[in-house]
A = this chain, B = another copy of it.
């Protein structure tokens, strides 16, 4: 997606060799007009998949999933990372290892919001090692639902998530794949 690549080159900041900061439009401030273009692109790529629900994970995936869902006219469900006293007792859970933090956390989805009839599209902002997406995929499988595909805004092509998911047969669409960020220079695939 050319608009996204331009946006990354103009506004992204590379920190070290593996952090790409896109706080100005995707992770802290949200450029809503731009997110609409992202949503439209996901629609274009998955429109024939008869998607019934979009699944994402708090927090950074929520805005993208909500805007994208307008094109598909389906509800969004966001997996929770944090304990909430209000969450159902009937929940699917999966363990996700965070490379960034070096710890494992649980993600949770109330059972009543995924059924075995669902055709689910996973949407997230970044794909790095892919553990969060694998956790969501695990929950979809527990529910007996069907994963139609995964839409990612920015894939870090130098980490393993994309390879892992593609080898597992997942219909993965990343709107931009960054293959390296050496010396602050962003190289797209």
Interface residues of A in 17-44 (CB under 8 A from B): 19, 21, 23-24, 27-33, 35-36
For this chain, the copies found in one complex come to 2
CA distance A176 to B31 in the complex (A): 28
Name A's interface SS: mixed
- Residues of chain B within 8 A (CB-CB) of A78 are 28, 30, 59, 63
Q: Are B76 and A29 in contact (CB under 8 A)?
A: yes
**A108: nearest residue on chain B (CB-CB)?**
B28
CB of A175 within 8 Å of the partner chain: no
**Additional 17 contacts, C-beta under 8 A, given A19-B85, A29-B75, A32-B73:** A19-B86, A23-B87, A23-B110, A24-B113, A28-B77, A28-B80, A28-B109, A29-B110, A30-B75, A30-B78, A32-B69, A33-B73, A59-B62, A59-B80, A63-B63, A66-B66, A85-B100
Which residues of A are interface residues toward B (Cβ below 8 A)?
15, 19, 21, 23-24, 27-33, 35-36, 58-59, 62-63, 65-67, 69-70, 73-78, 80, 85-88, 100, 109-110, 113
